[in-house]
């Protein structure tokens, strides 16, 4: 298995930005919306480190995964599992459903696909 070094660096960059947002941003737009856009970009980039296949299929898979997590928030899975006081579980799974998150995930996947096709793996 080969590692895509471009995507590894891209993943690390986005991960660093996400950490900065989590630690230092306390607003109503960047942290909740841009953070969710970037988390789908982060997931796409992580998968692309190892997966060389169809970028559109990967983008769709990341979108379905993201929507599933959001739907589980709607169902209050974190509370059903009794993990509402577990910071790691709340951070990973989230605790609050928001329709705008679905838009953020869609935007993140579109950005990821565009970056993949135009910037990181363009066809010559």
Question: pLDDT tens-digit profile of 62-121?
Answer: 999 999 999 999 999 999 999 999 998 998 888 899 999 999 999 999 999 999 999 887
| Per-residue confidence (pLDDT) for residue 46, from 0 to 100 | 98
Q: Is 95 left (phi over 0), alpha (psi -120 to 50) or beta?
A: alpha
Whether pLDDT at 10 is above 60: yes
Supply the mean pLDDT for the chain. Answer: 94
| Per-residue confidence (pLDDT) for residue 124, from 0 to 100 | 52
DSSP per-residue letters across 32-73? IIIHHHHHHHHHHHHHHHH--S-HHHHHHHHHHHHHHHHHHH
Whether pLDDT at 56 is above 60: yes
Whether pLDDT at 2 is above 70: yes
State CA 13 to chain mean position distance.
13
Closest of 96, 118, 101 to residue 37, by C-alpha: 101
pTM recorded for the entire structure: 0.92
């Amino acid at each position: 298995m080969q590692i895509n070094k471009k995507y590894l660096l891209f993943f690390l960059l986005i991960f660093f930005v996400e950490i900065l947002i989590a630690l230092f941003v306390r607003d109503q737009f960047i942290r909740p919306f841009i953070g969710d856009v970037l988390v789908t970009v982060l997931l796409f980039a992580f998968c692309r480190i190892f997966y060389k296949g169809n970028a559109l299929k990967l983008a769709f898979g990341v979108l379905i995964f993201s929507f599933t997590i959001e739907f589980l928030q709607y169902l209050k899975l974190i509370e059903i599992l009794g993990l509402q006081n577990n910071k790691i579980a709340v951070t990973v799974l989230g605790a609050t459903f928001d329709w705008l998150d679905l838009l953020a995930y869609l935007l993140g996947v579109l950005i990821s696909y565009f970056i993949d096709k135009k910037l990181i793996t363009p066809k010559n």
